[in-house]
Amino acid sequence: MDIYSKRRAQKIWSVLRFPLFLTGQRYISQAAAKIDVDFDYDGPLMKTEVPGPRSRCLLFVFSCKNAEAVHFFCNYEESRGNYLVDVDGNRMLDLYSQISSIPIGRRQLYQSFLFCPQASTFINRPALGILPPENFAERLKESLLSVAPKGLPQVITMSCGSCSNENAFKAIFMWYRNKERGHNNVTKEELESCMINQPPGCPDYAMLSFMGGFHGRTLGCLATTHSKAVHKLDIPSLDWPIAPFPRLKYPLEDFVKENQQEEARCLEEVEDLIVKYRKKKKIVAGIIIEPIQSEGGDNHASDDFFRKLRDIARKHGCAFLVDEVQTGGGCTGKFWAHEHWGLDDPADVVTFSKKMMTGGFFHKEEFRPNAPYRIFNTWLGDPSKNLMLAEVIKVIKREDLLNNATHAGKALLTGLLDLQARYPHLISRVRGRGTFCSFDTPNDATRNKLITIARNKGVVLGGCGDRSIRFRPTLIFKDHHAHLFLNIFSDILANFK
Amino acid sequence: MDIYSKRRAQKIWSVLRFPLFLTGQRYISQAAAKIDVDFDYDGPLMKTEVPGPRSRCLLFVFSCKNAEAVHFFCNYEESRGNYLVDVDGNRMLDLYSQISSIPIGRRQLYQSFLFCPQASTFINRPALGILPPENFAERLKESLLSVAPKGLPQVITMSCGSCSNENAFKAIFMWYRNKERGHNNVTKEELESCMINQPPGCPDYAMLSFMGGFHGRTLGCLATTHSKAVHKLDIPSLDWPIAPFPRLKYPLEDFVKENQQEEARCLEEVEDLIVKYRKKKKIVAGIIIEPIQSEGGDNHASDDFFRKLRDIARKHGCAFLVDEVQTGGGCTGKFWAHEHWGLDDPADVVTFSKKMMTGGFFHKEEFRPNAPYRIFNTWLGDPSKNLMLAEVIKVIKREDLLNNATHAGKALLTGLLDLQARYPHLISRVRGRGTFCSFDTPNDATRNKLITIARNKGVVLGGCGDRSIRFRPTLIFKDHHAHLFLNIFSDILANFK
């Protein structure tokens, strides 16, 4: 923003006083007429470069907030379906959907909440753990419990993904310790030592994680996150074991044997680490893994790899925690990505957030805390998010959006493979499950340039890892959106210098 | 719940199908007529014991969730002003207000949001860090920034109190490390070692906390929480220094010298710990403290203690973090409790949540992260909470609710002192600032019995520490509510056996 002098910004600021869209008031009055027809636009419509003058000016006056990551400012009233509209009136096909956190087209929820008979749920946020509203069990049943992974009948809600993983770790540590003490009573020494952060009350337990994984940014989560230095630099951490995640070679059918060996090597390392850490009196109580490492670069492993990892966890008495914060909610074609694996014995704990609108975790009965207030905080989530999730799930079922994700994902992946064949110097390692697709570019600079060009042609993309581009559309992304994108991107690649 | 057989529960369950209040639909249609007159009730109205049959039955069928802490189920549609209505139709004066998280009477917000022209803000939750809505800076200005503590012009929003403290720690660690490296470039060794949780990338930094403090339940926060074993047992922790918090004797005027000595002892210990930990190469980067230790038992210290602590932090180059998650928002008679101290040099970081409806932290300019994505997550709060907070702040100003907290708090404290004089075997150490009042009972059992009796007489109270009762009403708690409570509680004490 250093290209703007303060005076110039003040001049531009005066422009901001006359909004391009007088939406706040207008939308409501048109809602009844519009709601059934206006779920999506028919294509991108670009008026300026992005960020446009209005966005840049807003950024300049936005000095009170950690704003360096801001891409541009948005007009959410005018955004709809698969399209994001910015404050300069640019309408873009959105394949990143708020870092993968939008489940369905937003207009669809308007229908249910615009003249909201549930106003109280939005306004009156209760301390759910102690004073739940009457309909809370029912609300859980029609939202989270209606999509619970098989074998995990229990759920606890949290406000965000990091808190979900933090509390899942805690449930695992408690479970492990209870096992260890043989359900004997807690000793006085444990009760006293825990108050000053010392063992045996605070035992030297660890979660095993994988290089390239991302599980959140609070201190406990961060000790299991290993995707980018910017997340971790300068923050004290814990000496917890970190295993290698398979680095598969593509196309998969050409490297069957190499990839099997690579996965076997990683699994062996997991077992070695568990043993090695136990020898130095640090107990691996659980293993955490993403079905597809997302932030770390959309790294996949085979279903067989995950089945074997689950077996290793059981063999060594460790809990198996599947982090579905980014993969959950249907985008892989199943509601939970780990359902593709065909596990005999379900995961022990599954965490979620983002598209699920509320954070939280599912768990097996035996991971239920053995006393009140052990897994607890003031809010424990937010019932208004459960209310919205219930609506989202209704739409997913009614419109068969899981099958849509499989179908549209196939259209996208097929198109990407075609582009890879035509532009192998720009696109490699095309991969994906459902619409959860991605590809690699030669390097960071090329990747970022492609994202910027695409944005100015009306397509919002997201990066991950050090050179990948990831697709994270909503569940209403259809075949024709895939083709729309592929046409635009094909032109971009043809003209890329 | 073991008094209920499954069959009996099923029988009762059939009762649940006919709700006592048909509120979901009814409320809306009456809203226009009721909204201006129905902000509060005129007193408790009890129909059953609490929890009543309907609450107990709901608890019984509520088997899918960590429900052991649930007190009873609520009817939030019928609750208003200072009163909480449960599902059995019991109307109770609420002096605990969702663990201190309700700022003003809930009906007051209905007026602004019932036919909500801002529906989009409630439904379309953005990834605030990268794609904020156009009005976001403005919304911050009219909400959080309009009440920023003096000297702290920067704010970052988070979803809850724990995430606020976790991220405040991170901002402090980054600030300290930047100071230490003299703003030189980050080394390759730092970038590599941080990925595997090792120094120098993950330096051995610590936050100094106080015995009895509560700062949240995620792993980083939990290393600074020392109020109850139930929060900490079985969870691995960090070797961070823990100083004693003054244990003042009451009445304060009778123990001036002892209390001064006690505070001096604690401050000396703080300095000793900083030096001792530095000797073992563990650097105290910051000090975290609550203005009144809440969960730990409503422990107060003098303004002078906090001023001296701030000086110690500055002297040793540590950041001074004031955790106002429970004390903030006006209940002490100032918007921030630490404003009572009269600091020359402001705190470096102030965290908040609960009554502020959104979590987050204010900080000095120099604690602003030096690069994008360092303090970051998907949602970074929720604009719908800022929207509500803006309305709350309007009401606080319009109705002069800070002065009301001072005034009503005085009525409450005076009455409690009177009860203490009459029932010294039941009530001791009466203390408070604004309505943030509390007293001690002889022991845990007596405390819990008093809370239960009060509830059945129509008053919701909360406990803290091992024998205290804390008052956490909303900001619309007035003198007459204090007298109403004091009359009921006086009867309870007179008949207590």
Angular region, A356: left φ>0, alpha ψ -120 to 50, beta rest: alpha
User: From the list B226, B372, B388, which residue is nearest A68 (CB)?
Assistant: B372
Written as six digits, the tokens of B35 are: 């909204």
Mean pLDDT value across residues B106-133: 77
Three-state SS for A447? helix
Share of chain B above pLDDT 70, in %: 90
Q: Which residues contact B88 (CB under 8 A, 6 or more apart)?
A: B20, B47, B48, B50, B51, B52, B53, B54, B55, B72
Treating both helix axes as pointing N-terminal to C-terminal, what angle do A479-495 and A401-422 enclose, rounded to 10 degrees?
Answer: 20
Q: Closest to B117 (Cβ–Cβ): which among A28, A72, A79? A: A28
Residue partners of B157: CB distance under 8 A and separation at least 6: B128, B140, B144, B358, B359, B360, B380, B381, B382, B385, B386
Percent of chain A with pLDDT over 70: 90
Chain A positions in Cβ-Cβ contact with residue B154 (cut-off 8 Å): 64-66
DSSP β-bridge partners for residue A321: A288, A349
| Runs of H (alpha helix) within A208-249 | 219-222, 229-232
Catalytic residues of A: 214, 323, 354, 378
Say which of A69, A235, A371 has its CB closest to residue B372: A69
3-class secondary-structure state, position B395: helix
Q: Return the number of other C-beta atoms located less than 10 Å from residue A354's C-beta.
A: 27
Burial of B203 (0-12, 13-18, 19+ CB in 10 A): buried
- Both tokens of residue B309? 């602590």
| Residue A8 vs residues A1, A3, A61, A70: alpha-carbon distances, Å | 12, 10, 11, 21
For a pLDDT cut of 90, what percent of chain B falls above it?
A: 71
The model's pLDDT over A383-418, given as tens digits with 9 standing for 90+, comes to 889 988 998 899 899 999 999 999 999 999 999 999
Q: Which residue has the tokens 């203390």?
A: B431
Angstrom CA distances, B205 to B169, B201, B286, stand at: 10, 11, 9
Q: Which residues of B touch A221 (CB under 8 A)?
A: 218-219
Q: What three-state secondary structure class fits B475?
A: coil
Per-residue pLDDT at B29: 31
Q: Does pTM top 0.80 for this prediction?
A: yes
Structural contact between residues A145 and A407, judged by C-beta atoms closer than 8 angstroms:
no
Each residue's pLDDT tens digit, A299-309: 999 999 999 99
Q: State how far the Cα of B242 lies from the Cα of B225, in Å rounded to an integer.
A: 9
More confident call, A12 vs A134: A134
Place of tokens 């802490």: B69
Q: Identify how many contiguous H helices and E strands chain A contains and give both numbers.
A: 17, 14
User: B236 contacts in A (CB within 8 Å)?
Assistant: 173, 202-206, 238
Task: Count Cβ neighbours within 10 Å for each residue of A252-266 and write b for 16 or more, e otherwise.
Answer: eeeeeeebeebbeeb
CA–CA min distance A34, chain B (Å): 15
Mean pLDDT on A115-119: 70
The pLDDT score that the predictor gives to residue B55 is: 87
Provide the pLDDT for residue A135. 81
pLDDT (tens digit per residue) in B411-464: 999 999 999 999 999 999 999 999 999 999 999 999 999 999 999 999 999 999
**Cβ pair B101:A58 closer than 8 A:** no
Q: How far is A272 from chain B (nearest CA, A)?
A: 17
Instruction: Give the gap in angstroms from C-alpha A17 to the nearest C-alpha of chain B.
Output: 11
What is residue B249's three-state secondary structure?
coil
* Residue A64: band (very low, low, confident or very high) from pLDDT cuts 50, 70, 90: low
**Residue B463 phi, psi (nearest 5):** -95, 165
Lay out the sheet containing A436-440: strands in order across.
A428-433, A436-440, A468-470, A462-464
Q: Give per-residue pLDDT as tens, A79-110.
A: 888 899 999 999 999 888 888 877 887 777 77
Q: Which of B159, B153, B167, B154 is nearest to B127 (CA)?
A: B159
- A29 or A124, which is more confident: A124
Interface test with B, best of A234, A240, A277, A378 (most B CBs within 10 A): A234
pLDDT band at A222 (very low <50, low <70, confident <90, very high): very high
Closest residue in chain B to residue A64, using alpha carbons only: B154
Render B168-229 in DSSP notation, one character per residue: HHHHHHHHHHHHHTTTPPPPHHHHHHHHTT-TTTS--EEEEEETT----SSHHHHTT--S-H
Residues A432-490: pLDDT tens digits? 999 999 999 999 999 999 999 999 999 999 999 999 999 999 998 999 999 999 999 99
Provide the 3-class DSSP secondary structure of residue B339: helix
When pLDDT is averaged across residues B29-36 and rounded to a whole number, the result is: 33
Complex prediction ipTM: 0.90
**pLDDT for residue A66:** 63
Task: State whether residue B309 is helix, strand or coil.
Answer: helix
Helices (H), B323-478: 383-398, 401-422, 444-456
Which residues of B have a catalytic role annotated? 214, 323, 354, 378
